[in-house]
Structures are given as structure tokens and as C-alpha cells.
């Protein structure tokens, strides 16, 4: 099974400041045939289901603000919120869909400082 490890487990950032979350995969999740990284990022607000923010490691879903960006390749990935807003308080999960069983990181809780 592919294990995803996120860091940090939680972080507190001031409004308008940058937040960055890392996700490290135990195996390469870059598929050589199509040169795509099979990694997604989700946001889960309290009491809500997860919401897909980014797939293919860096492609934003329709309607997701451009302050959210994803990067990285192979085994190391990052989700960046360029200017934290109050509505961004949530838990963020990375997810690999390279091979089953699909797995998720343990989550990173983002709060306002």
C-alpha cells in the first residue's frame, strides 16, 4: 500500500499570510506513460464532506480560488494557500489514486493565528 505522510499535522497562519502543507508518498506516483502525478488535495470544513481542490497534483478544480495551488512530483508534493482567508479554516488531505488501495494522508488542520 502507498502511504502518504503529511506535515505538519496542524498550523496556525495569520489572515492574508501564506500556508503550505507537504505530502510525502512512500512510492513514486508519477505515471511515466502520461507524465501525470496521481495525487489530489481535498478540503474538509467541520461537519462537511471533503471537497476536491486539486487533481493531477497541480490542476485546480473548477470554481476553486486561485489562492490554492499544488506542486511537486514523484514522491513530494505541496499544497499552498497564498493568502489565507477565514473560510479556509479546515482540514486538508492529500490522496493518491495511482494504485489501489487508494489512500489518504492523515490530514493537516489549518487555523487562524
**Interacting residues toward other proteins by CB under 8 A:** 38, 40, 42, 49-52, 55-56, 61, 93, 95, 97, 100-107
CB of 10 to other proteins, least distance (A): 13
Cell 488535495 -> residue? 41
**CB 61 to other proteins: min, Å:** 7
Closest approach, Cβ 82 to other proteins, in A, equals 22
What is the C-alpha separation between 29 and 60, in angstroms, rounded? 18
Amino acid at each position: 500500500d502507498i502511504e502518504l505522510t503529511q506535515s505538519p499535522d496542524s498550523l496556525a497562519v495569520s489572515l492574508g499570510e501564506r500556508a503550505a502543507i507537504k505530502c510525502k508518498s512512500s512510492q513514486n506516483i508519477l505515471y511515466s506513460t502520461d507524465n501525470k502525478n496521481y495525487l489530489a488535495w481535498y478540503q474538509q470544513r467541520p461537519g462537511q464532506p471533503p471537497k476536491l481542490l486539486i487533481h493531477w497534483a497541480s490542476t485546480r478544480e473548477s470554481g476553486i480560488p486561485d489562492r490554492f495551488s499544488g506542486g511537486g512530483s514523484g514522491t513530494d508534493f505541496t499544497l499552498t494557500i497564498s493568502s489565507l482567508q477565514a473560510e479556509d479554516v479546515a482540514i486538508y488531505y492529500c490522496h493518491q489514486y495511482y494504485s489501489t488501495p487508494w489512500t489518504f494522508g492523515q490530514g493537516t488542520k489549518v487555523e487562524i493565528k
